[in-house]
Amino acid sequence: MSDEEDDIILSELDDEELVAQMFDDLYDGLKEEIEEGVNILLERKWEPYDVLTKALVGGMTIVGNDFRDGILFVPEVLLAANAMKGGMAILKPLLIETGAPRVGKMVIGTVKGDIHDIGKNLVGMMMEGAGFEVIDLGINNSVEAYLDALAAETPDILGMSALLTTTMPYMKVVIDTMVEKGIRDDYTVLVGGAPLNEEFGKAIGADAYCRDAAVAVETAKEFMSRKHNQMAAG
């Protein structure tokens, strides 16, 4: 770390410089600096929603793009997402208070028989970074666990992940059960995980297969804007 960086005092930067610095700090995964930046913007009477979208989501968009383009890798993205979480922890209660708009809501979990969660965690963090509310069901989820969560949370999106070829087919079991119960069309179903591909996603009746967290965020945003447009047209 150079002396120059040590000399940056966040509170002395104007708003524009501070947001630019927060982009850099997020990129470098500096949690304490992000928390400090969030607090300074709030002290300057920024709306919590603006802090979220302009500083945090803005910064995570750069991280997401570089992850997609192979410039950043999973460890760096996890660090950035962890720094973002620090900022989110401060903003969450304020966002709830002000009734700030959310982009959408997602329930995500790894399927039954599968205990892999790094990819899923990354998707969850990147989705939060894009302004979604994320309910993470963890690993090893049965059909019942997914259905209970859908009923309790009424999300827009259901995300399922699997890392084993043996657990992949369970995604179809979940989707088929949703069809049987007549609720399949109420949700956008996104699937992901190393052994999957687009053909598999289509074959099991998912809305989309997402090859990584950055694609998952882009895809989720697309489906949400389509949904909003349909509602507006309706």
* Tens-digit pLDDT profile for residues 57-98: 889 989 988 988 999 998 998 899 899 989 999 998 898 788
pTM confidence score: 0.77
Say how far apart CA 156 and CA 188 lie, in whole Å.
Answer: 6
Q: Do residues 162 and 196 lie in contact, with contact meaning Cβ atoms separated by under 8 Å?
A: yes
φ and ψ at 111, to 5 degrees? -75, 165
Query: Residue 5 — very low, low, confident or very high, per pLDDT cuts 50/70/90?
Result: low
| C-alpha–C-alpha distance, residues 83 and 4, integer Å | 22
The whole-chain average pLDDT of the chain stands at 92
What per-residue confidence (pLDDT) applies to 157? 98
Report the residue count for the chain: 234
Six token digits for residue 94 = 């304020």
pLDDT digits (tens, 9 = 90+) for 136-174: 999 999 999 999 999 999 999 999 999 999 999 999 999
Name the phi and psi angles at 114, rounded to 5: -120, 130
Angle between helix 118-129 and helix 74-98 axes, rounded to 10 deg: 50
Q: Which residue has the tokens 């524009």?
A: 16
Q: Give ∠ CA 24-28-34 in degrees, rounded to 5.
A: 65
Residue at token pair 């995570």: 60
State the fold for domain 105-233: Rossmann fold (3.40.50)
Q: Among 84-88, 124-128, 187-191, whose mean pLDDT is lowest?
A: 124-128
Amino acid at 57: V
Asked, colleague to colleague, whether 7-98 and 105-233 share their fold, the answer is no
| CATH code assigned to 7-98 | 1.10.1240.10
**Whether the predicted pLDDT of 204 surpasses 60:** yes
- Domain ranges within the chain, ordered by starting residue: 7-98, 105-233
- If you average pLDDT over residues 91-108, what whole number do you get? 86
pLDDT in tens, 32-66: 999 999 999 999 999 998 998 899 988 998 998 89
SS (H, E, C) 68-132: HCCCCCHHHHHHHHHHHHHHHHHHHHHHHHHCCCCCCEEEEEEECCCCCCHHHHHHHHHHHHCCC
pLDDT at 178: 98
H helices, E strands: number in the chain: 11, 5
What band does 224 get if pLDDT is binned at 50, 70 and 90? Answer: very high
